[in-house]
Structure 1
Amino acid sequence: MHRPGVAGQGQVYARFDGVRLVVDGYVVLDRIDLALHERRVALVGANGSGKSTLLRCFNALVVPSSGGVVLDLPGTGALDPARSPAAARTAVGFVFTDPDAQVVMPTPAEDVALSLRRLRLPRHERDRRVRQALADVGLADRADVPVGELSSGQRQLLAVAAVLATGPRLLVLDEPTTLLDRRNTRLVRRTVEALDIPVVLATHDLGLAAGCDRVVVVDAGRVVADGAPDPVLDVYRRLMDGD
């Protein structure tokens, strides 16, 4: 799944500086400071911890009350999603937990083609990208079947394919395996591992998190642990067990 000009390990591609979000007097995110440079970063935390909200700051689906986010991805330069949401949403591909929130067309090929419409590509190039995107996630032979015949894992992979077809510089996944069984979880995990663009994901799947380069634990809107997967996941387990 080669895509030229992607951020490499070691280059900071996203920075959160004192990010705070207050909604109706409730602090959702509280003084988040992060500099992300790893190719795979997992956010873990209890439901309602703020990790999904934090992900939405990458492309201005959520705008902080104070502090800021800066992206530095190939082809964008320094980019503030809050000030340039359209540019951020072009650079950052976002996949939601439930693929049915994103998959809207009758067949996989049509759904991926829809994601490309805003790029105004020649038809031959659009068709090439559709075929390539579906092949990248193992759905080449399902291109024209009704979406309703796809398994839950295949629909999640289709949502990923539709986002990847647009050529994002960063992929953000919000709990991509929450609705999946073990087999489909493995399909999604293998697809994510094969990508050559940075991936930031929120997950309850500790196996998926353990395979990342860095894990960040979010609790009550704050980062409470951050670092290599094994020790940080130990902190998370103790936090969840009440130790």
Structure 2
Amino acid sequence: MSVVLNAAAVRVKNPDGELLSLLHSTSLQLDEQRIAVIGANGSGKSTLLRLVNGLLTPSSGSVTVNGLDTVRDGVAVRQQVGFMFTDPLSQLVMPTAVEDVELSLRKKYPKAVQRRTAALELLERFGLGVLAEQSIYSLSGGERQLVALSSVLAIEPKILVLDEPTTLLDLVNTHQLVERLEMLPQQIILSTHDLSLAARAERLLLVDRARVIYDGPADEGIERYRELAIARGKAERR
């Protein structure tokens, strides 16, 4: 798997018409199986992740996924890249867990009976069979996140992008989700404030003020982030 950002930048206009950079020109080749992205709120982490599956397109430069351009080949890119939001209710749109997974399977299984069978089998595989007919609103945060993950995996993506997947979870549910992610064969690119989760990655990107300021081993990047946070905290107290 290979995600390539070639001088990709994202700019938007504020209400006064001024251009703001959500991500400055960034060039990266992301080949590792497990990549973590860390940084403060508003640093540009989510912007970087959303470029990978075409939820955002670059204002300049380009982004390719396994050779497919996210602008020209957006539909094909989204077939290869599954995206999970921080809040699973942002993407769980059907009344029950099984119906949501069925929605993801509608192209693969045009017939309703086959689609229902496949959806139930997928939920069973993830240990969620007993939740199949439950309302998504009656599920815990961790259960919703696992159902959302099942719905994303139903399209059999080659790459999984997760935007702060554990932020709304307690310790038990975080552990369950992380265990599930570790079992997956897909390349995983995730942003997180959980530094213990980030430490598991083969490669870490630190984003600050819309720039990638560190790219390398997780332990060194985490230490640099801590130093940066301490320095910013001292500056704010002056």
Aligned to 1:214: 203
Alignment of 1:13-162 (within 5 A): 13-24=2-13, 25-72=19-66, 78-123=67-112, 125-162=114-151
Greater C-alpha Rg: 2
**Inter-partner Cα distance in structure 2 for 1:56 and 1:82:** 13
Structure 1 length normalisation: TM-score? 0.89
Could you say if the C-alpha distance between residues 22 and 207 of structure 1 is closer, same or farther in structure 2, counting changes exceeding 3 Å? Answer: same
Q: What secondary structure sits across from 2:127 in the alignment?
A: coil
Q: What secondary structure sits across from 1:34 in the alignment?
A: strand
**Inter-partner Cα distance in structure 2 for 1:87 and 1:102:** 20
| C-alpha contact 1:136 1:161 (8 A) present in aligned 2 | no
Structure 2 length normalisation: TM-score? 0.91
State which of 167, 177, 184 in structure 1 corresponds to 2:166. 177
**Inter-partner Cα distance in structure 2 for 1:71 and 1:128:** 31
Q: What secondary structure sits across from 1:217 in the alignment?
A: strand
**Inter-partner Cα distance in structure 2 for 1:59 and 1:45:** 20
Show structure 1 runs of 5+ residues with no match: 1-6, 8-12, 73-77
Question: CA RMSD of the aligned region, Å?
Answer: 1.5
Question: Could you report, residue by residue, the CA deviation over 1:138-158 in whole angstroms, capped at 9, with x for unpaired residues?
Answer: 212211122222110100111
Report deviation, 1:121.
3.7
Question: Could you report, residue by residue, the CA deviation over 1:110-130 in whole angstroms, capped at 9, with x for unpaired residues?
Answer: 110012123344445423431
Q: What secondary structure sits across from 1:201 in the alignment?
A: strand
State which of 228, 232, 237 in structure 2 corresponds to 1:239. 228
Alignment of 1:223-238 (within 5 A): 223-238=212-227
| C-alpha contact 1:129 1:165 (8 A) present in aligned 2 | no
Amino acid at match of 2:83: F
Q: Number of aligned pairs?
A: 227
Question: Could you report, residue by residue, the CA deviation over 1:194-242 in whole angstroms, capped at 9, with x for unpaired residues?
Answer: 1001010111111111111111000111111111111111111111111
Amino acid at match of 1:108: A
Amino acid at match of 1:89: R
**Inter-partner Cα distance in structure 2 for 1:209 and 1:59:** 21
**Inter-partner Cα distance in structure 2 for 1:135 and 1:92:** 23
Amino acid at match of 2:226: R
Q: Percent identity, aligned pairs only?
A: 44
